[in-house]
């Protein structure tokens, strides 16, 4: 079905060359806010082990220009790819914006990535240099032998590093130089701005390429959806290397001229002290964090007026905190939020909301026809590539083409249900994708690694329900000749160790089951539906259980 609020448009829409974001780029946005909100706090850095520090818009802009000048002096030029492998901290945003000033393309990577994954990212994007922190320095340097240089900040997300020895790396402070005479690159709005690697249905993550116009569009649109006002103070604990914090929180706040309180990561024990102490008025939640917070006392007085959650105003949140929640749907490829709810307007509880007028939305049945109201279907979106949709998958035209149908509709891979009132509710991922906490994981990516373990003939990875993380990966493997209890345990342990070496920790299977035969359906396809059902039911296979990974 086509959502009733979707606007019609030509089958193929092209980005207007002259009107795209009014020729504005990320450098313009930061300069504009530094001038219009000079003394207003932009970032309040709230590390766990040291006092908070406030950074005004003018101070932040000056630090960005100084870093950009230093990067240029070290050979970073327009069009270069710069790897940014860092946890939440002011230097992350400083580096992200410095690259925008240079017309360089900043590549933000998940800090939980393995060395093998980092090597792939660096090689795939062609990064020339990298910026990181002490705890990741050795891994980045080993993964990127082809890098011209690596620079390292002096702390680990606010904590003292285990060692102050940065070897042959540059000290980040050496890159911050006098910016007098520095001239930013006036990037075309359609010039490449940034890349985020995201799991897909292929065996390797894909680099989602954003333009400057993407970032500007997202900043404006997300500020509207999140209802951010200049006086708002937002709380940010989700990682900046993901779209949620980088775009929905940071860019939207920049557009509004408001303030973000930035913490290194989520901490249930520190959450309310930070939010109340800094008088935060809004923030973004995910189910994992909510579950942790529900087990802790809620302060009798706080200043939070709303949360962005992805589900519209759950009754339990209204009862416990007395605040509404904004429902929404978004992903790295959509840049902004094609579906969202509006506080104060009628929306279905727990739905994502209604389609945005800036996108077109379809919900399709398995045969490609419109799904009926009340029936689950696959979500397809249409927007403008390079503006309201990502530009492309980096160096992967085949994947880019495959993501769209002949009429320009983008396949989200998600299952949803639309109702006659226009609201859309999320049902889960379709295909072979997992949602582990806040991370999307391709089952095929884990299967690729497990399949390389000697003795493994076939592998199927599926998700097992988890109270805190929604689901976690579990591997079923066929290994002919491996029948003895000791041999089964050794193979399972070998698989887990190999995955730990090759994959980010959240992708490592929590259990490995060695089975005589993985069930199959028509034409020999693995019956993952049956495997998922076994896990949901708590049933075990007919073979011996493998060790559990804590």
- The residue-averaged pLDDT of 212-227 equals 97
Q: Encode pLDDT of 341-364 as tens digits.
A: 999 998 899 999 999 999 999 999
Instruction: Enter the pTM of the model.
Output: 0.85
With CA atoms as reference, report the closest residue to 172 among 63, 262, 258: 63
Sequence ranges of the chain with CATH classification 3.40.50.12780: 21-308
Q: How many CA atoms lie within 13 A of 504 on its CB side?
A: 24
Does the pLDDT at position 2 exceed 90? no
pLDDT at 200: 61
Does the pLDDT at position 545 exceed 50? no
Does the pLDDT at position 11 exceed 60? no
For domain 21-308, give the CATH number: 3.40.50.12780
pLDDT at 185: 97
- The residue-averaged pLDDT of 91-119 equals 97
In angstroms, what is the C-alpha Rg of the chain? 23
Does the pLDDT at position 4 exceed 70? no
CATH architecture of 434-537: 2-Layer Sandwich (3.30)
- The residue-averaged pLDDT of 236-257 equals 97
All residues at 6 or more sequence positions from 367 whose CB lies less than 8 Å from its CB, including other chains: none
Does the pLDDT at position 56 exceed 50? yes
- The residue-averaged pLDDT of 138-153 equals 97
Six token digits for residue 452: 């390389």
- The residue-averaged pLDDT of 102-128 equals 97
Does the pLDDT at position 313 exceed 80? yes
Per-residue pLDDT band for 209 (boundaries 50, 70, 90) equals very high
Per-residue pLDDT band for 1 (boundaries 50, 70, 90) equals very low
Does the pLDDT at position 340 exceed 50? yes
How confident is the prediction for the chain on average, in pLDDT?
Answer: 90
Distance (Å, rounded) from C-alpha 271 to C-alpha 282?
Answer: 13
Q: How many CA atoms lie within 13 A of 20 on its CB side?
A: 23
Distance (Å, rounded) from C-alpha 290 to C-alpha 448?
Answer: 33
Q: Between vectors from CA 205 to CA 101 and to CA 68, what angle results, nearest 5°?
A: 15
pLDDT at 547: 41
Percent of the chain's residues with pLDDT above 90 = 72
8-state DSSP, 195: E
DSSP-based three-state secondary structure for 383: coil
Sequence ranges of the chain with CATH classification 3.30.300.30: 434-537
pLDDT at 428: 75
Per-residue pLDDT band for 334 (boundaries 50, 70, 90) equals very high
Residues β-bridged to residue 292: none
- Residue for token pair 């359609």: 190
- The residue-averaged pLDDT of 514-537 equals 79
Q: Encode pLDDT of 398-453 as tens digits.
A: 999 999 999 999 999 888 999 999 999 988 777 678 889 888 888 878 988 898 89
| Residues found in the chain | 550
Per-residue pLDDT band for 238 (boundaries 50, 70, 90) equals very high
pLDDT at 228: 98
pLDDT at 434: 87
Does the pLDDT at position 12 exceed 90? no
pLDDT at 7: 39
Q: Which of 224-228, 306-310, 364-368, 476-480 has the lowest mean pLDDT?
A: 476-480
pLDDT at 485: 82
Does the pLDDT at position 550 exceed 70? no
- The residue-averaged pLDDT of 180-208 equals 90
pLDDT at 268: 95
Q: Which of 21-35, 214-228, 345-359 has the lowest mean pLDDT?
A: 21-35
pLDDT at 487: 87
- Residue for token pair 């307007």: 345
pLDDT at 203: 67
- The residue-averaged pLDDT of 169-190 equals 97
- The residue-averaged pLDDT of 274-293 equals 93
Does the pLDDT at position 10 exceed 80? no
């Amino acid at each position: 079905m086509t959502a009733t609020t979707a606007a019609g448009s030509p089958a193929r829409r092209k980005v207007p060359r002259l009107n795209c974001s009014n020729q504005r780029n990320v450098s313009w946005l930061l300069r504009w806010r530094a001038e219009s909100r000079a003394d207003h706090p932009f970032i309040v850095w709230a590390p766990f082990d040291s006092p908070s520090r406030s950074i005004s818009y003018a101070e932040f802009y000056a630090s960005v220009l100084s870093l950009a000048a230093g990067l240029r002096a070290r050979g970073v030029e327009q069009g270069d790819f710069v790897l940014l492998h860092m946890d939440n901290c002011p230097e992350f945003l400083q580096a992200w914006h410095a690259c925008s000033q240079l017309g360089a393309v900043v590549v933000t990577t998940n800090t939980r990535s393995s060395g093998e994954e980092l090597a792939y990212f660096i090689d795939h994007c062609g990064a020339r240099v990298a910026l990181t922190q002490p705890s990741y320095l050795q891994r980045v340097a080993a993964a990127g032998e082809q890098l011209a240089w690596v620079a390292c900040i002096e702390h680990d997300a606010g904590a003292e590093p285990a060692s102050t020895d940065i070897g042959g790396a540059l000290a980040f402070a050496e890159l911050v130089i006098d910016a007098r005479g520095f001239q930013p690159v006036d990037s075309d709005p359609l010039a490449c701005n940034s890349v985020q690697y995201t799991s897909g249905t292929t065996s390797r993550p894909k680099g989602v390429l954003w333009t400057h116009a993407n970032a500007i569009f997202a900043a404006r649109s997300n500020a509207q959806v999140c209802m951010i006002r200049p006086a708002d103070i937002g709380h940010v604990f989700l990682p900046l290397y993901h779209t949620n914090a980088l775009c929905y929180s940071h860019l939207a706040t920049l557009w509004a001229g408001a303030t973000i309180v930035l913490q290194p990561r989520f901490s249930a024990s520190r959450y309310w002290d930070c939010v109340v102490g800094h008088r935060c008025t809004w923030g973004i939640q995910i189910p994992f964090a909510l579950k942790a917070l529900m087990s802790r006392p809620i302060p009798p007085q706080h200043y939070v007026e709303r949360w962005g959650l992805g589900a519209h105003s759950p009754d339990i949140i209204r009862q416990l905190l007395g605040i509404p929640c904004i429902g929404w749907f978004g992903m790295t490829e959509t840049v902004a939020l094609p579906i969202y709810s509006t506080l104060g307007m009628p929306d279905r509880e727990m739905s994502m909301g209604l389609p945005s007028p800036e996108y077109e939305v379809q919900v399709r049945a398995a045969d490609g026809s419109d799904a009926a109201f009340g029936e689950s279907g696959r979500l397809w979106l249409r927007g403008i590539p390079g503006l309201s949709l990502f530009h492309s998958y980096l160096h992967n035209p085949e994947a880019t083409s495959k993501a769209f149908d002949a009429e320009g509709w983008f396949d989200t891979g998600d299952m949803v249900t639309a109702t006659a009132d226009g609201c859309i509710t999320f049902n889960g991922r379709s295909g072979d994708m997992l949602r582990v906490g806040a991370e999307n994981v391709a089952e095929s990516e884990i299967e690729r690694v497990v399949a390389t373990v000697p003795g493994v003939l076939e592998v199927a990875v599926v998700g097992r329900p988890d109270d805190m993380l929604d689901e976690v990966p579990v591997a079923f493997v066929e290994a002919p000749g491996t029948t003895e209890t000791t041999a089964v345990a050794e193979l399972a342990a070998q698989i887990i160790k190999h995955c730990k070496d090759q994959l980010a920790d959240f992708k490592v299977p929590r259990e490995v089951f060695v089975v005589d035969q993985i069930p199959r359906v028509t034409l020999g396809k693995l019956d993952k539906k049956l495997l998922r059902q076994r896990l949901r039911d708590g049933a075990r296979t007919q073979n011996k259980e493998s060790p559990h990974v804590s």
